[in-house]
Structure 1
């Protein structure tokens, strides 16, 4: 029997990131039927992807199964699929999965499809400089990083060894700073003594950004502290440097001193984000505008203009210059769920979304982080303890918290890395995945 005829309000949630997952959980006791559609079967704690890439955590610790998270929520069901089209007139979404495509009807729609990596119009860079947006990306980077040391061990040509032991990270935001710091820790603290023909301490870690500061959103005080700590760790920070080309064996940059080439076999892209293709499709279907990054410009209550039944949240929305961080996604997801519940209860809706900024933080090395909470700034060990507490709080599931703590103990107190397994499949599967996606309907 049709659920609408039974009075069951159908909510479709697109995406199981922070926004989609917290919106779904906020509807647990509402008189609705929730269908959560996601391209993978797991929720991803994206801020810790760099720790998977550098061998600290396993992918399972930051990517718990969605079905396990929602198993006690009886009004929610989970479907695997990538939503490719929204039809606002018919109130349907169309999704594709391996060997299947399907359509789901909705009464209310929450679009939380996240963001994709932006190469600023140079998508060809992705082949040689993977981003950091998925488990696949993190595992590929793990293979490339640890594989670089292994292949350097086999070389006899000093120039080839130097090329393998040069790591370039593009983007000096939190992800780039954290990645550069962990590669430096690997080279200078964890790997020395394990090789016979090379000295991992000779590795060069270069952090590049077109801006003139690292962690530019943290303010001058914390930015300066982060830069000083990076230099102490041996990270070469090249600011005011724009990437103009990337190939298999190096990267071309424009600096204040002119054009330069950096020979490097391992490049990591941590600069820039863009809205997913679904944002463009939804904008055309609804007549909504998008910002420069392709995000939907929404009403103050997170609804798409002209469509009060459609909410765009998190990285999908452009509103009041809010940053693309987890807290914006979480809070906007809860706001959208609250609006739906108020509407069903016959209460007034349209209240503007009010973001409560809980601060920003980034780790640089073990026992060293920077944290900005309102007007308060913390760095060093205090900042690191704050970072530890916050990330444990938002890791989904008790099991994930316990195992993460154990692995952090091994990595930060000892000199080991619990997850150093890397396979050829992880490194070379990108092309197969690209070919697969090209054949999707």
Structure 2
């Protein structure tokens, strides 16, 4: 059904979990919806580490944002970079490639633009380390790894390739575990001239334990699984400086690091403080108990950017639930109903360590590990994907990768695509830029 121009206009900034679910919540509401994002696709960030290690193709974890119109016909998409807001005039200023910024007016606004990589002011980190927050970041890591392996294969003498993962949260653990599995199951197939010991993987974590958000017994299980896979855990020391081929720790010691992957945290984009919105000490946009931005009626924030009095973790479920709630509050306003508080429903948390090894805390607190944990993790992640083709592609690729068929399936270093007759390709693969020379930091 075509959107009616005289209907209230809702602008949603950001097409991630929060923004996309806000759009879907407004699908049958009597409003016009404009979704603004700098990319034309939505990225399923929890599986980016699989793209970075060539376990999945980029298109497996991306969805064309205009595809949301299939379920939300009242939505229109606008690609562009938000430059600023004017809440008094109810205007969003957008750089959409024209000669001058475009002003888009709104009646209601949902801010769901997410966060970005936090380097914590670490010297050299932004220049020499590789973040893993966007699809481009993941493909850059993938291409750099294979470029360095090619260099190593030509070296002749034993020349270890050191990969350091800074950060012991779920992202750091998952990519380290995936690299360890690749070393065990794929390296010998692609590079038969190499010894497995050539690929050295370490996690550097300032705290004394990894996965601090999980119960102690699960943290212990994950650490043992990583060590059994040959991942070195350097705990209790932070990184103070990142060089091109090394990192320096807070005790002054130096570690070789041909590739440094930065998975240490996230923060608000530097442009957000210039928007004139109330901010929490964390830098997130201050919202009240209904997710309305403090002092700005009709303006809501959802997902990672929303700063509640008790802030939630940067996970998919909080983003999904806050996105839907913010949209529901707009519906309530339009219907003349009272807005209601947001209550987060904890549906559990999970992290995968590698083949048939994962940890998961169920909603009732029950803990799963090993194969059962991995199967639960797989099911949850597939269900969160939007689009049937994405769900089928990820299910096929991950099951073949982890369920014992890895030796028949491996990445093509020239493209990073997974060689699998059953692998489904979805939007995004052809748009990737390929990098093969060493030294590219994304």
Q: TM-score, normalised by structure 2?
A: 0.90
Aligned in 2, Cα 1:139/1:204: closer, same or farther, shift over 3 Å?
A: same
Match of 2:208 in 1: 212
Aligned in 2, Cα 1:8/1:56: closer, same or farther, shift over 3 Å?
A: same
Shift of 1:324: 1.1
Shift of 1:198: 2.4
> Alpha-carbon deviations, 1:327-368, whole Å to 9, x = none?
11110011011111111111112x211000111100001111
Tell me the distance in 2 between the aligned counterparts of 1:147 and 1:372.
37
Shift of 1:82: 1.3
Q: Does 1:340 align with 2:346?
A: no
More displaced 10-residue stretch of structure 1: 295-304 or 417-426: 417-426
Aligned-residue CA RMSD in angstroms? 2.1
Tell me the distance in 2 between the aligned counterparts of 1:37 and 1:154.
46
Match of 1:411 in 2: 401
Match of 1:326 in 2: 316
Tell me the distance in 2 between the aligned counterparts of 1:225 and 1:326.
24
Aligned in 2, Cα 1:344/1:40: closer, same or farther, shift over 3 Å?
A: same
Q: TM-score, normalised by structure 1?
A: 0.90
Shift of 1:373: 2.1
Q: Does 1:121 align with 2:108?
A: no
The alignment partner of 1:382 has SS state of helix
CA contact (8 A) 1:57 1:419 kept: no
The alignment partner of 1:64 has SS state of strand
Tell me the distance in 1 between the aligned counterparts of 2:76 and 2:123.
35
Tell me the distance in 2 between the aligned counterparts of 1:273 and 1:347.
36
> Alpha-carbon deviations, 1:136-184, whole Å to 9, x = none?
10010001112221110111354xx12xx11100001000000000111
Shift of 1:99: 4.6
Match of 1:438 in 2: none
Shift of 1:127: 2.6
What is the number of equivalent residue pairs in this alignment?
A: 418
CA contact (8 A) 1:410 1:418 kept: no
Q: Does 1:313 align with 2:302?
A: yes
Tell me the distance in 2 between the aligned counterparts of 1:432 and 1:71.
37
> Alpha-carbon deviations, 1:292-326, whole Å to 9, x = none?
3x111211111111112110111111111211111
Shift of 1:432: 11
Aligned in 2, Cα 1:359/1:77: closer, same or farther, shift over 3 Å?
A: same
Tell me the distance in 1 between the aligned counterparts of 2:89 and 2:265.
35
Tell me the distance in 2 between the aligned counterparts of 1:142 and 1:409.
20
Tell me the distance in 2 between the aligned counterparts of 1:116 and 1:362.
21
CA contact (8 A) 1:149 1:200 kept: no
The alignment partner of 1:277 has SS state of coil
Tell me the distance in 1 between the aligned counterparts of 2:105 and 2:234.
50
Match of 1:437 in 2: none
Shift of 1:42: 0.3
Q: Does 1:40 align with 2:39?
A: yes
Shift of 1:97: 3.1
In structure 1, list runs of 5 or more residues that go unmatched: 434-441
More displaced 10-residue stretch of structure 1: 223-232 or 147-156: 147-156
Shift of 1:7: 4.6
Match of 2:135 in 1: 135
Match of 1:149 in 2: 149
> Alpha-carbon deviations, 1:9-49, whole Å to 9, x = none?
11000000000000011001101000000010001100000
> Where has structure 1 moved over 6 Å in runs of 4 or more?
428-433
| Among candidates 176, 186, 189, match of residue 190 of structure 1 | 186
